[in-house]
């Protein structure tokens, strides 16, 4: 059985990650180990450091100390575009797509970049990776909307599009920042079901932050609970749910809807 | 044949036949329109497609004009060999300046581009021994066979058409898609693996190169080059032209050039002194009157999130 | 020594520009035009007023006021309409104003260069460290600490100044506290214009009053404001002195290079620390 702490085996690992803002230690020595195929939820009350941790992982923030390993290689401090090239994909809490490009063009552009053709200034791009893009759009259920400007799509569809964009880069790890934020309950389950389907089909590893506990317990394979910048506990959904510290920390906090 | 291809074809025919019907003055006007159209289209690659507004593009126009003029005057190089130096010199300048400029965004981007243009202006102005300073370089003419208004008109038309073809290919290429994605959402573009700065620099260089070509064409059209080719008010021209004609379409700037030059001709022949006033007033009025800025300008997420309004 | 006085003119223009940006977040590209108008108004006032010793001083008082009025009119009539707009649009609009103002100046005063004579009291020169030094520059240099201290007093010791400083930090809050922010904006813009006009009026006896003054001072003021930090008063002061000195010494030592050096420094600052030496990072 593979040693789960062996860096070679893990898709993502952080050791002693720290970050302050002014006097506040937002992330205080976080150790995280995510094996391949894991669907990991990072939860915690407001102010626990989830967003900061997330931004550290995605290269949006630079850490003060500690290290980040991706697929066995150290990636601490690498800029986002290089993390993407290495196989990290992400979605944003506020949907982040290319609004004035069509749905299809959004995905095509991601493919073009993934295949390193984005410095090509002479061939017409319209047909490139069109079939691949259509296939991906079909997978996320946006096939019908391919030609529309993505900015006019309803919120839920934009989220799906963002997922497709992230997938087009062929990632090994998907980092989802509050994937169901702003969605109605039914949509939430739909999109997480989509994520679950895709990950089980492809063996993709997923790490996501969430406030909605229903979604978390339905989808996650393992849960890391953050509190005040450090890891409070980590384990299977059942174990976490039963953990008295977790219950105390969440006491009085109803599942968000 | 699509309708736009047909329209273009018709336009091409009309333009080709123009010298048969129009007196030399109008051929010259059309030549200028073509040159300004090229300059504005090159500028708009950066603004409309790339979402980067430069306030110092005159620098590249001037670098191109002076490079070609200097080769002809100081080195005796024939025009047809000197002209290609224009985009090359301008591209070099764009590479050097752009390296710094693309590290900034929005207001600071505009300010730094303005500063570099002023450097170019000042260097041209002060380096009298090389550039002739304030007096400029005179007698920069095309060879005899291209010298007549009709001949230079055809030459310019061909060069500009070819350049626009290349620029159009660029805008429709994978690079063009990537550039637009950066304009729309640089953060998202990074997360599909795009090195935003490098891409923007390439766009800057391409834009600068063709601006320089426009400058070179203008040098031989005008017969002389002057430091004020690089002055910041010259940088205003492609901006206004592109905005007037429509920054979100490829041919917008060209249409804008047409309108702009006709307007300039009409106003300047009656009241020459009033042209800057007229131009400035139009710009002020248009900005104040248009509810959302020029529709879909260098807008989109990038600018909106930058708006200082915190509400 | 003349570098310091050049620095002084620059300081006045830059502080005005910086102030306007700090409060209204508008980079007023027409600020150089205000400087120019101040100089031209000085020309006319000196011509129109009777030839008495006090005429110069009265003109020096009135010219900047004229520019302040111009500034206020522009702010109320135009800028108020675009505060909520894209900063780019604001830049383009102020750029358009440059064209409008410079043509109006041309129409009003004609294309020839003008000049203003120094007042008799300051027409000569004195010897400082054995070098002849135009007395007029003494005025300018003497005014420098007065203006600097005056500005400091205004910003740090008056209620109005406190409001301005608050506005540079958080405008919405100020409005929520019941301050008439719109009026404050107009006042700030008028004051900034006044400063630029004062710079122009003071500079008038030392330079050729000509079209094109606006561009030259604008670009140098830009450099000053960027290096010092948009929105920082102390930054503009130090930066203006440095730039003024650099320009003067530079011209002596490396004539062709000095301006280039200046812009190069500005470029470096913009790349390394875009908010300037003493400014505050945005957002």
**Residue range B48-55: average pLDDT?**
91
Structure tokens at A144: 């019908």
Chains C and B physically touch (3 or more Cβ atom pairs below 8 Å): yes
**Residue range B73-92: average pLDDT?**
94
What digits encode the pLDDT tens for the residues B131-162? Answer: 888 899 998 999 988 888 889 999 999 999 99
Q: Closest-CA residue in chain B for C103?
A: B277
Q: Is the pLDDT of residue C183 over 50?
A: yes
| Least confident segment among B120-124, C218-222, C241-245 | C241-245
Q: Is the pLDDT of residue B51 over 80?
A: yes
The answer for residues whose C-beta is within 8 angstroms of residue A34's C-beta and 6 or more apart is: A10, A11, A12, A13, A40, A173, A205, A207
**Residue range C18-29: average pLDDT?**
85
What digits encode the pLDDT tens for the residues A157-176? Answer: 999 999 999 999 999 999 99
Residues of A in contact with B301 (CB under 8 A): 99
C241 occurs within a structural domain: no
Chain B CB within 8 Å of residue C269 CB: no
Q: Closest-CA residue in chain C for B280?
A: C96
Structure tokens at B47: 């603004």
C248 occurs within a structural domain: no
Asked if C222 lies within 8 A of B115 by C-beta distance, the reply is: yes
CB of C181 within 8 A of CB of C168? no
Chain A CB within 8 Å of residue B2 CB: no
Radius of gyration of chain B (CA): 19
C123 occurs within a structural domain: yes
CB of B150 within 8 A of CB of B27? yes
C25 occurs within a structural domain: yes
What digits encode the pLDDT tens for the residues B238-273? Answer: 998 998 888 888 999 999 999 999 989 998 888 887
Q: Is the pLDDT of residue B298 over 50?
A: no
CB of A138 within 8 A of CB of A163? no
Q: Closest to B184 (Cβ–Cβ): which among A100, A122, A124?
A: A100
Asked if A84 lies within 8 A of B193 by C-beta distance, the reply is: yes
Chain B CB within 8 Å of residue A140 CB: no
Q: Closest to A126 (Cβ–Cβ): which among B172, B196, B296?
A: B172
| The pTM of the whole model exceeds 0.90 | no
Residues of B in contact with C218 (CB under 8 A): 232
Residues of B in contact with A81 (CB under 8 A): 190-191, 193-196
Q: What is the 3-state secondary structure (H, E, C) of B48-89?
A: HHCCCCCCCCHHHHHHHHHHHHHHHHHHCCCHHHHCCHHHHH
C253 occurs within a structural domain: no
What digits encode the pLDDT tens for the residues B173-220? Answer: 999 999 999 999 999 999 999 999 999 999 999 999 999 999 999 999
From start to end of chain C, where are the E strands?
125-128, 131-134
Instruction: Tell me what pLDDT residue C97 has.
Output: 93
What digits encode the pLDDT tens for the residues B2-43? Answer: 777 788 788 888 888 888 888 888 899 999 999 999 999 999
CB of B208 within 8 A of CB of B93? yes
Structure tokens at C19: 């102030």
Cβ within 8 Å of A, B 152-191: 169-170, 172-178, 180-181, 184-185, 187-191
C226 occurs within a structural domain: no
C32 occurs within a structural domain: yes
Residues of C in contact with B242 (CB under 8 A): none
Residues of B in contact with A79 (CB under 8 A): 190
DSSP secondary structure code for residue A255 in this structure: P
Structural domain range at position C19: 2-211
- Residues listed for chain A: 257
Subunits with at least 3 CB pairs below 8 A relative to chain C?
B
ipTM (interface predicted TM) = 0.88
Residues of C in contact with B55 (CB under 8 A): 91, 95
Asked if B173 lies within 8 A of A58 by C-beta distance, the reply is: no
The answer for residues whose C-beta is within 8 angstroms of residue B48's C-beta and 6 or more apart is: B242, B247, B248, B249, B252, B253, B297, B298
Candidates C26, C96, C261, partner chain B, best to mutate (most B CBs within 10 A): C96
Q: Which residues pair with C125 in a beta bridge?
A: C134
Cβ within 8 Å of A, B 201-230: 202, 206
Q: In total, how many domains does chain C have?
A: 1
Cβ within 8 Å of B, C 31-70: none
What digits encode the pLDDT tens for the residues C257-266? Answer: 666 777 777 7
Give the confidence band of C2 by pLDDT, cuts at 50, 70, 90. low
Asked if C260 lies within 8 A of B123 by C-beta distance, the reply is: yes
Asked if C96 lies within 8 A of B100 by C-beta distance, the reply is: no
Instruction: Tell me what pLDDT residue B276 has.
Output: 84
C268 occurs within a structural domain: no
Give the confidence band of B308 by pLDDT, cuts at 50, 70, 90. very low
**Max alpha carbon distance in chain B (Å)?**
64
């Amino acid at each position: 059985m593979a040693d789960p702490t062996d860096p070679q085996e893990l898709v993502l690992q952080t050791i002693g990650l720290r970050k302050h803002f002014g006097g506040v230690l937002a992330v205080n020595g976080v150790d995280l180990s995510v094996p391949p195929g894991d669907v990991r939820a990072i939860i915690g009350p407001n102010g626990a450091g989830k967003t900061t941790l997330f931004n550290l992982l995605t290269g949006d923030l630079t850490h003060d100390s500690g290290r980040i390993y991706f697929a066995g290689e150290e990636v601490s401090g690498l800029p986002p575009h290089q993390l993407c090239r290495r196989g990290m994909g992400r979605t944003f809490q506020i949907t982040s797509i290319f609004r004035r490009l069509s749905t299809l063009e959004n995905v095509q552009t991601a493919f073009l970049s993934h295949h390193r053709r984005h410095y090509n200034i002479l061939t017409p791009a319209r047909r490139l990776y069109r079939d691949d893009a259509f296939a991906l759009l079909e997978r996320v259920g946006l096939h019908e909307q391919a030609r529309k400007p993505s900015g006019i799509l309803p919120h839920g569809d934009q989220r799906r599009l963002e997922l497709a964009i992230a997938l087009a880069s062929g990632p090994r790890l998907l980092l989802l920042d509050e994937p169901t934020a702003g969605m109605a309950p039914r949509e939430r389950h739909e999109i997480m079901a989509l994520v679950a389907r895709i990950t089980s089909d492809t063996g993709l590893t997923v790490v996501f932050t969430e406030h909605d506990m229903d979604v978390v317990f339905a989808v996650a394979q393992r849960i890391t609970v953050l509190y005040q910048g450090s890891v409070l506990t980590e384990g299977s959904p059942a174990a976490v749910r039963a953990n008295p510290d977790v219950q105390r920390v969440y006491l009085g906090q109803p599942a968000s809807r | 044949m699509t309708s736009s291809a047909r329209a273009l074809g018709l336009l091409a025919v009309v333009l080709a036949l123009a010298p048969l019907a129009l007196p030399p003055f109008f051929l010259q006007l059309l030549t200028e329109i073509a040159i300004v159209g090229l300059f504005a289209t090159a500028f708009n690659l950066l603004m409309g497609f790339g979402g980067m507004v430069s306030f110092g593009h005159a620098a590249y126009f001037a670098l191109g004009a002076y490079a070609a003029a200097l080769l002809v005057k100081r080195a005796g190089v024939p025009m047809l060999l000197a002209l290609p130096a224009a985009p090359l010199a301008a591209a070099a300048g764009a590479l050097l300046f752009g390296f710094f400029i693309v590290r900034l965004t929005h207001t600071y981007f505009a300010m730094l581009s303005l500063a570099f243009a002023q450097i170019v202006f000042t260097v041209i102005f002060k380096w009298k021994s090389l550039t002739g300073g304030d007096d400029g370089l005179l007698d920069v003419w095309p060879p005899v066979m291209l010298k007549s208004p009709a001949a230079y008109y055809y030459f310019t038309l061909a060069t500009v058409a070819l350049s626009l073809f290349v620029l159009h290919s660029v805008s429709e290429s994978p690079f063009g898609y990537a550039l637009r994605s950066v304009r729309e959402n640089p953060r998202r573009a990074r997360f599909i693996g795009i090195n935003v700065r490098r891409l923007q620099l390439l766009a800057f260089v391409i834009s600068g190169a063709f601006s320089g070509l426009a400058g070179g064409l203008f040098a031989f059209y005008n017969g002389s080059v002057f430091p004020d080719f690089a002055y910041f008010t010259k940088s205003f021209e492609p901006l206004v032209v592109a905005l007037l004609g429509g920054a979100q379409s490829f041919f917008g700037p060209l249409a804008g050039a047409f309108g702009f030059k006709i307007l300039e001709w009409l106003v300047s022949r009656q009241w020459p002194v009033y042209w800057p006033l007229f131009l400035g007033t139009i710009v002020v009025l248009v900005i104040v009157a248009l509810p959302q800025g020029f529709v879909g300008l260098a807008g989109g997420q990038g600018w909106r999130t930058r708006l200082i309004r915190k509400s | 020594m003349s570098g310091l006085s050049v620095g002084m003119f620059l300081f006045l223009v830059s502080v005005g520009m910086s102030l306007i940006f700090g409060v209204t977040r508008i980079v007023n590209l027409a600020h150089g035009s205000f400087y120019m108008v101040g100089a031209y108004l000085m020309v006319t006032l000196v011509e129109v007023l009777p030839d008495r010793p006090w005429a110069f001083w009265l003109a020096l008082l009135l010219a900047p006021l004229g520019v302040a009025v111009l500034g206020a009119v522009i702010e109320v009539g135009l800028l108020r309409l675009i505060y909520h707009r894209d900063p780019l649009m604001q830049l383009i609009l102020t750029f358009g104003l440059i064209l409008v103002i410079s043509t109006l100046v041309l129409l009003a005063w004609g294309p020839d260069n003008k000049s203003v004579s120094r007042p008799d009291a300051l027409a000569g020169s004195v010897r400082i460290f054995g070098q002849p030094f135009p007395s007029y520059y003494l005025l300018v240099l003497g005014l420098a600490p007065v203006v600097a201290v005056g500005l400091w007093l205004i910003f740090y010791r008056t209620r109005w100044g406190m409001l301005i400083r608050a506005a540079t930090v958080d405008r919405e809050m100020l409005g929520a506290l019941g301050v008439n922010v719109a009026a404050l904006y107009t006042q700030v813009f008028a004051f900034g214009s006044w400063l630029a006009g004062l710079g122009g009026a003071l500079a008038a006896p030392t330079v050729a009053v000509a079209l094109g003054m606006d561009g030259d001072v604008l670009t140098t003021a830009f450099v000053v404001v960027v290096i010092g930090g948009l929105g920082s008063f102390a930054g503009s002061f130090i930066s203006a002195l440095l730039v003024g000195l650099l320009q003067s010494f530079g011209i002596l030592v490396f004539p062709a290079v000095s301006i280039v050096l200046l812009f190069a420094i500005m470029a470096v600052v913009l790349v390394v620390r875009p908010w300037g030496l003493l400014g505050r990072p945005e957002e």
